[in-house]
């Protein structure tokens, strides 16, 4: 073998896999098709929400582990990675009550406040019903996280190679595969594929995966009107059966991105698109609907100041992740929309899969369609 493990894809999940594999003492080569810090996939940008508002036990286990690993990585690298400004969840209160019940069982700190109390606390936002606030949540410094993951992985022996697209993967046996680039062929015991929007293009003919839909999403940054206001991160779901929310495309997520403004966006409803044929242009009807949302629900920002952002989402039909192994191939896919917060824990799961430890049943590809 040339190396124990090749990782294909140098975004958040690939970097985390390389980090965790290197901590296990594996020899690791990571190939990323684009330059470091590129804006062509799903991992770029300064911030992501860090939210524990899940009712499902397996997701709560994963996000709790991720919190501990984020803290460990921050301490090791001397980097601030989490800003725990809190996260306000509102809309569809019935589901939020399920989340609160799950939090009580696990001892996760969260509590309801009234719409009036929320309005008094966060004057740049509007609220209709009770709000579930999670104080030990907030945002991940995403760009800094990628750098920290790479720094720790390389400190433990991993090798990151950018501008190195993989052209082929040849499976030679249960514990042997060859990864082909333009300049080399590397033999490895395991190949971890974390290729985001390019996953189906790369291995769709070799591995039976659930359908992965790639969309071009177009959130935006909006300029705050008053720089003195306090902003939590937020998730906002439409109220079931409420006609005033009929123009919504999906739930809305958002956060303060220091230096850029308040980020807000629809969730996973952008145009379906080939990742190699992106337009990078916001779909105008959806974009105007986002501005309408901002006018109604984020009065503390200038809705006309919208600076659009373009990124890819890669999702399964039910938005669960895919974490599974097929012979020497380990696949991580379908993270978009809510995956970044889990990044270091996903790296651990992928490293365990490479060692033959099965992922939680929810994330296995077998039996999916």
Residue-level pLDDT, tens digit, the chain, 369 residues: 799 999 999 999 999 999 999 999 999 999 999 999 888 888 889 999 999 999 999 999 999 999 999 999 999 999 999 999 999 999 999 999 999 999 999 999 999 999 999 999 999 999 999 999 999 999 999 999 999 999 999 999 999 999 999 999 999 999 999 999 999 999 999 999 999 999 999 998 899 999 999 999 999 999 999 999 999 999 999 999 999 999 999 999 999 999 999 999 999 999 999 999 999 999 999 999 999 999 999 999 999 999 999 999 999 999 999 999 999 999 999 998 899 999 999 999 999 999 999 999 999 985 444
pLDDT of residue 28: 98
- pLDDT value of residue 367: 45
Distances (CA, A) of 89 to 56, 93, 94, 132, 187: 16, 9, 12, 5, 47
Query: What's the pLDDT score for residue 366?
Result: 57
SS3 for the chain, per residue?
CCEEEEEECCCHHHHHHHHHHHHCCCCEEEECCCCCCCCCCCCCCCEEEECCCCCCHHHHHHHHHHHHHHHHHHHHHCCCCEECCCEEEECCHHHHHHHHHHHHHHCCCCEEECHHHHHHHCCCCCCCCCEEEECCCEEEEHHHHHHHHHHHHHHCCCEEECCCCEEEEEEEECCEEEEEECCCEEEEEEEEECCHHHHHHHHCCCCCCCCCEEEEECCEEEEECCCCCCCCEEEECCCCCCHHHCCCCCCEEEEEECCCEEEEEECCCCCECCCCCCCCCCCHHHHHHHHHHHHHHCCCEEEEEEEECCEEEEECCCCCCEEEEECCEEEEECCCCCCHHHHHHHHHHHHHHHCCCCCCHHHCCCCCC
Report the pLDDT value the prediction gives residue 369, as an integer from 0 to 100: 40
pTM: 0.96
Q: Which pLDDT score is estimated for 266?
A: 97
Domain spans, the chain: 1-81+140-209+318-369
- The sign one gets for the Cα dihedral 111, 116, 122, 128 is positive
CA 312-291-257 angle, to 5 degrees, is: 60
**CA angle, 184 then 190 then 193, to 5°:** 80
Cα distance between residue 26 and residue 24, in whole Å: 6
pLDDT of 336: 87
Return the closest-CA partner of residue 166 out of 36, 32, 35: 32
CATH 3.50.50.60 fits 1-81+140-209+318-369, yes or no: yes
Neighbours of 335 (CB within 10 A): 27
* Contact between 129 and 77 (Cβ < 8 Å): no
Q: Which residue has the tokens 């033959």?
A: 356
The angle, 0 to 180 degrees and rounded to 10, between the axes of the packed helices 142-155 and 12-23 is: 30
């Amino acid at each position: 073998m040339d190396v124990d493990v090749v990782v294909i894809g140098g975004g958040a999940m690939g970097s985390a896999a390389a980090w965790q594999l290197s901590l296990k003492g594996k020899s690791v080569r990571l190939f990323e098709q684009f330059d470091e810090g590129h804006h062509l996939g799903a991992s770029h940008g300064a911030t992501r929400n860090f939210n524990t508002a899940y009712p499902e036990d397996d997701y709560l286990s994963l996000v709790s582990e991720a919190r501990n690993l984020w803290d460990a990585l921050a301490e090791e690298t001397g980097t601030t990675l989490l800003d725990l400004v809190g996260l306000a969840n509102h809309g569809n209160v019935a589901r939020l009550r399920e989340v609160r019940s799950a939090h009580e069982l696990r001892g996760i700190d969260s509590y309801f406040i009234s719409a009036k109390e929320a309005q008094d606390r966060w004057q740049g936002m509007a609220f209709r019903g009770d709000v579930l606030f999670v104080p030990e949540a907030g945002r991940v410094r995403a760009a800094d996280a990628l750098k920290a993951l790479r720094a720790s992985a390389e400190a433990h022996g991993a090798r990151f190679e950018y501008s190195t697209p993989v052209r082929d993967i040849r499976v030679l046996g249960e514990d042997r595969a060859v990864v082909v680039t333009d300049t080399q062929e590397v033999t490895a015991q395991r190949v971890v594929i974390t290729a985001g929007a390019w996953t189906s293009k790369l291995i769709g003919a070799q591995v039976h995966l659930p359908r992965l839909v790639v969309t071009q999403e177009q959130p935006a940054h909006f300029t705050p009107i008053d720089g003195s206001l306090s902003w939590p991160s937020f998730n906002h779901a439409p109220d079931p059966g409420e006609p005033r929310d009929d123009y919504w495309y999906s739930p809305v997520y958002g956060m303060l991105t220091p230096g850029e403004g308040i980020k807000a966006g629809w969730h996973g409803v952008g145009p379906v698109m080939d990742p190699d044929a992106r337009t990078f242009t916001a779909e105008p009807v959806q974009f105007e609907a986002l501005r309408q949302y901002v006018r109604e629900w984020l009065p503390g920002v200038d809705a006309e100041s919208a600076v659009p952002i373009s990124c890819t989402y890669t999702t399964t039909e039910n938005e669960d992740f895919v974490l599974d192994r097929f012979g020497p191939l380990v696949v991580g896919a379908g993270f978009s929309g809510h995956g970044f917060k889990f990044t270091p824990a996903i790296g651990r799961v992928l490293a365990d899969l490479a060692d033959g430890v099965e992922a939680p049943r929810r994330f296995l590809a077998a039996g999916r369609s």
